[in-house]
Every structure is written in structure tokens, then in C-alpha cells.
């Protein structure tokens, strides 16, 4: 059996030039050979004819690839959002959106220590205070 690329390449021009009834027959053949449903086969056959002429080879990923959406947020915003959410105590949605301006102002005024990772995982420890009031982490022991 030929690859899906070769099948779409062979049937694409015939499909676009054919009237309605022969198109149905071509779709039946393509769906039988590739295993696609009729709607997907139709989309692939029409996309193949719209493909740039200079492109000699196509991969299945190019044929089957869905169109990617444009980013809604910048890369920096996506990186800082989990950190801001953790500072806010894990709130999300409309509550985080309402608190975001104040949180970002506080972060700009008091940036985290550059040597410390902002999302460093917490160790399983409890704080124990002595008479001086200093708290130090003490590892928990399992019973």
C-alpha cells in the first residue's frame, strides 16, 4: 500500500477538477486506502492542491498537521504566571486577575533573591522555634 502522501498526490488534481458524482467516488477510494473519514480525506485532497508548487516533498505531519493558533500571552508572561499564582496562595481565575496588578507591583518592588529558584519545591519539614525565636527547618521523621 502506498503512503498517504502518494495517495493524496495522485488523487488531488483529479478530485479538484471532477464534478460532484466523480468526487464522491474518489473520496470513497481515498477513504478505503488511507483509513481516513470522508471529511478528513476531502480536506487533505483540497489542501494538497493549495500546497506551494516549489515544495517537492511533504510529510504526513504537514498534511495532517492542524493549524497552530497564535499565542495569546507572551513567553515571559507564561513563565511568570505560575510563580505569581503560587505567591498568591494558589488562587486562580477572576480572583487572580483582580489581585494581579498588586502582586506584580510587589514583585517589581521586592524581586526574589537571584540565587534562589522561585518555584523551588518545598521539602517535607516543619519549623521548630527555640527560645531565641529563630525558626529552623527540621526534617519530619516517619513513625
Summarised one tens digit per residue, pLDDT across range 31-43 is 999 899 999 999 8
Determine the average pLDDT of the residues in 99-103: 86
Non-local CB neighbours of 111 within 8 Å, separated by 6+ positions = none
Non-local CB neighbours of 81 within 8 Å, separated by 6+ positions = 73
What pTM was estimated for this model as a whole?
0.40
> What is the pLDDT confidence band of residue 135, given thresholds at 50, 70 and 90?
very low
The radius of gyration of the chain's CA atoms, rounded to the nearest angstrom, is 29
Residue 18 has pLDDT above 50, yes or no: yes
Query: Which residue shows C-alpha cell 487572580?
Result: 96
Three cell numbers written together for 45:
485532497
- Quote the pLDDT of residue 128: 45
The mean predicted confidence, pLDDT, of the chain is 75
CA distance 137 to 133: 13
pLDDT digits (tens, 9 = 90+) for 33-83: 989 999 999 988 888 887 776 665 555 545 666 677 888 888 888 888 888
- Quote the pLDDT of residue 110: 80
β-bridge partners, 135: 129
Note whether 29 and 11 are within 8 A (CB).
yes
- Quote the pLDDT of residue 124: 35
Determine the average pLDDT of the residues in 103-120: 70
Amino acid at each position: 500500500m502506498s503512503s498517504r502522501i502518494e495517495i493524496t498526490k495522485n488523487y488531488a488534481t483529479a478530485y479538484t477538477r471532477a464534478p460532484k458524482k466523480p468526487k464522491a467516488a474518489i473520496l470513497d477510494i481515498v477513504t478505503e486506502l488511507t483509513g481516513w473519514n470522508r471529511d478528513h480525506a476531502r480536506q487533505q485532497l483540497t489542501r494538497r492542491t493549495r500546497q506551494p508548487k516549489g515544495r517537492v516533498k511533504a510529510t504526513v505531519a504537514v498534511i495532517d498537521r492542524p493549524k497552530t493558533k497564535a499565542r495569546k500571552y507572551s513567553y515571559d508572561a507564561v513563565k511568570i504566571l505560575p510563580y505569581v499564582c503560587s505567591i498568591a496562595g494558589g488562587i486562580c481565575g477572576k480572583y487572580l486577575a483582580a489581585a494581579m496588578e498588586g502582586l506584580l507591583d510587589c514583585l517589581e518592588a521586592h524581586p526574589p533573591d537571584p540565587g534562589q529558584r522561585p518555584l523551588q519545591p518545598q521539602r517535607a519539614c516543619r519549623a521548630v522555634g527555640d527560645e531565641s525565636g529563630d525558626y529552623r527547618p527540621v526534617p519530619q521523621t516517619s513513625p
